[in-house]
Amino acid sequence: MDQLYLEIEISTQNAETTIYTSVSSFLALYTYRYLNEPKNIQVNFVATKIESGKIALRSSQLRRELTDQHITCREAAKLPAIRDLRLPIYEKDGNTFIAGTCAVCRELIARQPNTELRKLLGFKESCLLAPSEASIWTRFCEVDVVDVVSRLHEGLLLKAVPDEVVRFEQHMNEPVRMHNIYKQAREQANQTENGAKIKRKHRVQIDGRTPKEQLLIEHRFAEGISFTIADLILYPLLRIVFQHCGQMLPHFPLTSTWFSEIDSFDGTCAKILGDLYVPQAASQGEELLSIPDCDATSLYKADPKRYKPRNRIYTSQAEVDLALAKLSELQLVFSTDSEHTYGQQTIDWQKIEPTHAKSSALPQERLERKRQQLENMANAVVSLAQPGDRIVDFCSGTGHLAILLALKLPLCTIIVMENKSFSLAQAQKRALELELSNCVFYQCNIDYFVGRFDIGASLHACGTATDIVLQQCRRSVAHFVCCPCCYGSLQPMPHISYPLSQRFQRVLSTNDYLYIAHTADQAHEMGTTNCKPETTLQGLQCMSIVDTDRKLQSEEAGYQVILTRLKPEQCTPKNHLLVGRFVKQN
Ligand SMILES: C[S@@+](CC[C@H](N)C(=O)[O-])C[C@H]1O[C@@H](n2cnc3c(N)ncnc32)[C@H](O)[C@@H]1O
C-alpha cells in the first residue's frame, strides 16, 4: 500500500492538546479527504517542530488516523526519506518518495483507479505538472499563496489585501487558455439551451482564424471550464486568506463567483475545510484593506522571461565588452585547466546497459560521447568517495550516472533525484534489471531535499540548477562533482543571486553577469553549422568566467576546487567539470 507522510506538531498547554500541521501537509490531507480517504493509501503523521506558519487541525475529525501506531517522530524515523525530504511525502510502491506540495497532491489523484477522479489532473493529466521554477502557475499554487497562508498563521496582520488575491482576480478576468479551446468553443456555440446539438445547416463555424479573445469561453474554474486540482488546492487557501481580509470579498467579484461555482459544483470542498481547519481568532477588524496594483496577466501563461531566455536578453556586443572590461580589474585568468583528468577506466557498458544500448534511440557516436561524459563524472566521484558515503545524483534524468556510481561504489548509498516521474521510473527500471540494492529514488525538486549527504554530483543540471546543487553541497559540507550546462538560462531566484562569489560581486552587477552568462551559450562546437570561430571563442571565455565564479564562491566557503574539462573535450560542448573537496570550516 502507498503511504502519505504528513507533518504535525503536538502541543499540550493547560492539559489541552492541539495538533498543528504545515500549510503544505494540510493541502495533502485536504486532497486525501477529497478523494474520500482512498483505501490504497495509508496516512502517517510525522511529529516534528513546524518551522513556518502552523495550522491548527480539528483533531476530533482525525481520531481514526491520529493513533500512536501512525505517528512517528521525525528524528527517530527509520525511513531515511522522512529525514531527507520536506514533508509532505508520498511513498509510491515502497521504493519512490515524492516531495513537493503539487507533486504529492497530483500523485494522490493519479493513483486512483477511478477515471472521473483522475480528470482532476486536467488535459493530458498535466495540470500543475511543471515544477514551480518553470511555471508561474505551479509557483502561484505551490509557493506564493502557500506563503501568504503561512505568514497569516505566523501572526501577519494585513494592511492591504495580499497581491496573490489581486493576481488571482485578474487571472480569472483573462481569456481562458486551454489546449482544446476551439473544440470547446464550437461545442458551446452549437448547443441549444437544453444541451441538444444545433442542426448542421445552422451551425456556427469557429476555427483557428478566430482570435482566442473572441471565443465566448470564460473562466468558470481556475484553469477554464473544468474543475481541476488547481481549484482543489486554491479553494481552501483563498478561503483562509479571505477570513483574514475582513469584508473584502465583494471587491473581488470574479473570485467570489468562483467560490460560489465550486460550492454549488461540489459542496465537499467547503465541508472538508470546515471539518479539518480551526479558524484563527479574527485578527482583522471591520476596517477595509487597501487593494494593491498588480499587472493584469494570466497566471498560467508561460512566463516568457523564464522559459525563453533567448527571447528576453538581447545582449549586445557592447554590453558584453563593458562587462568583460569591468572583470579585468580582478586580474584573474579565466581558463579551465586541462591537466587534471579523471581518466578513463574501462567500463563494461554492455553489462551495465544491455537493454538500453540495444533499444537506445541515440546514434552510436552520441552514445559513445555520453559514455565518455559519464566515465569522467563517475571517476571524479570515485576519487572522493569513502565506504558508507551517501552520494546524491541531482537532476539524474534517467539515472545514467547514478547507476554507474551504484555499480562502482557498492558500499555507498546512491540517491537518485529527479523531478520528472517518467525519467525516474526509467532509472528505477534499470536499477532493478541490474539488481542494485544501494539506490534510493526521490522524485522532487532539488530544493525539497533537506537531508545530509557526503558527495553531490550533477551532470548537465540546467542553468541555475547547478547553483542550487552547489548550494545544497555547501549546506551539507559535501564534496561535489558538477558538469554545468544552459549558461544562457541562468536567472536569479529568491535563494540564488548572481554574481555568486564576493570577488565578482565587487565589480559586476547582476545584469553584467547575465550578459556574460548569455554569451557563454555561444560556445558551440567549432566547425558546426552557423558557427563563427570568434563567437565560439568568446562563448568559451564566458563559460570559463561563469565557472570561475562558481569555483571562487566554493573556495570562499572552504572548498578546494579544480575546474577542468571532460576528456576527450569533444564529448560535449558543455564540458566543464568542477570538482570540489571540502577542506575547512570558515
Ligand atoms: C539535461 S537533463 C540531464 C539528465 C542527466 N543528468 C544526464 O546527464 O543524462 C537535466 C535533468 O534535470 C532535471 N531537473 C531540472 N531542474 C530540476 C530541479 N530543480 N530539480 C530536480 N530535477 C531537475 C530535468 O527534469 C532533467 O531530467
In this structure, are residues 195 and 67 in contact, taking their beta carbons and an 8 Å threshold? no
Domain ranges in the chain are: 1-121, 124-178+217-306, 186-216, 309-582
pLDDT confidence of residue 526: 61
Q: How far is CA 61 from CA 278, 280, 315, in A?
A: 11, 18, 58
In ligand 1, the atom with minimum distance to the C-alpha of 458 is 6
Quickly state the pLDDT bin for 551 (edges 50, 70, 90).
Answer: very high
Any atom of ligand 1 within 6 Å of the Cβ of 423 = yes
Any atom of ligand 1 within 6 Å of the Cβ of 459 = yes
Query: What whole-number distance in Å separates Cα of residue 174 and Cα of residue 299?
Result: 9
Any atom of ligand 1 within 6 Å of the Cβ of 454 = no
% of the chain exceeding 90 in pLDDT: 54
Q: Is the pLDDT of residue 579 over 50?
A: yes
**How far apart are the CA of 472 and the centre of ligand 1, in A?**
15
Looking at the DSSP assignment, which residues form a beta bridge with residue 458?
A: 482
List the grid coordinates of 569.
Answer: 573535450
Quickly state the pLDDT bin for 185 (edges 50, 70, 90).
Answer: low
Protein residue whose Cα sits closest to atom 12 of ligand 1: 395
Q: What is the DSSP letter of 381?
A: H
pLDDT confidence of residue 329: 86
Q: Is the pLDDT of residue 135 over 50?
A: yes
**How far apart are the CA of 443 and the centre of ligand 1, in A?**
11
**How far apart are the CA of 455 and the centre of ligand 1, in A?**
17
Query: What whole-number distance in Å separates Cα of residue 453 and Cα of residue 476?
Result: 6
CATH code that applies to domain 1-121: 3.40.30
Any atom of ligand 1 within 6 Å of the Cβ of 420 = yes
* Signed CA dihedral, 529, 531, 536, 539: sign only: negative
Helices (H), 399-444: 400-408, 421-433
Protein residue whose Cα sits closest to atom 23 of ligand 1: 395
The verdict on domain 124-178+217-306 having CATH code 1.20.1050 is yes
Q: Is the pLDDT of residue 407 over 80?
A: yes
Query: What whole-number distance in Å separates Cα of residue 161 and Cα of residue 290?
Result: 6
pLDDT confidence of residue 536: 82
Mean pLDDT of 512-531: 79
Protein residue whose Cα sits closest to atom 9 of ligand 1: 397
329 compared with 478, residue with greater pLDDT: 478
**Residue among 430, 374, 366, 376 at smallest CA distance from 398:** 430
**How far apart are the CA of 446 and the centre of ligand 1, in A?**
10
Mean pLDDT of 559-581: 92
Protein residue whose Cα sits closest to atom 10 of ligand 1: 461
Quickly state the pLDDT bin for 367 (edges 50, 70, 90).
Answer: confident
Mean pLDDT of 177-197: 68
480 compared with 525, residue with greater pLDDT: 480
pLDDT confidence of residue 136: 87
Residues 6+ apart with CB under 8 A from 64: none
Any atom of ligand 1 within 6 Å of the Cβ of 445 = yes
In DSSP notation, 494-513 reads: TTB-SS-SHHHHHH--HHHH
Query: What whole-number distance in Å separates Cα of residue 564 and Cα of residue 542?
Result: 15
Any atom of ligand 1 within 6 Å of the Cβ of 461 = yes
Any atom of ligand 1 within 6 Å of the Cβ of 170 = no
Probe residue for ligand 1, chosen from 98, 143, 366, 395 as the CB with the greatest number of ligand atoms within 8 Å: 395
CB-count burial class (<10 Å; 0-12, 13-18, 19+) for 318: exposed
CB-CB neighbours of 192 under 10 Å = 9
**How far apart are the CA of 245 and the centre of ligand 1, in A?**
40
Any atom of ligand 1 within 6 Å of the Cβ of 462 = yes
Q: What is the pLDDT of residues 442-465, one digit of tens each?
A: 999 999 999 999 999 999 999 999
CB-count burial class (<10 Å; 0-12, 13-18, 19+) for 295: exposed
Query: What whole-number distance in Å separates Cα of residue 161 and Cα of residue 173?
Result: 18
Residues 6+ apart with CB under 8 A from 197: 190, 191
Probe residue for ligand 1, chosen from 417, 419, 459, 471 as the CB with the greatest number of ligand atoms within 8 Å: 419
Residues 6+ apart with CB under 8 A from 193: none
Quickly state the pLDDT bin for 309 (edges 50, 70, 90).
Answer: very low
Question: Which one is the CATH code of 309-582: 3.40.50.970, 2.40.40.20, 3.40.50.150, 3.40.50.2300?
Answer: 3.40.50.150
Q: Is the pLDDT of residue 356 over 70?
A: no
Any atom of ligand 1 within 6 Å of the Cβ of 377 = no
pLDDT confidence of residue 306: 47
Quickly state the pLDDT bin for 305 (edges 50, 70, 90).
Answer: very low
Any atom of ligand 1 within 6 Å of the Cβ of 426 = no
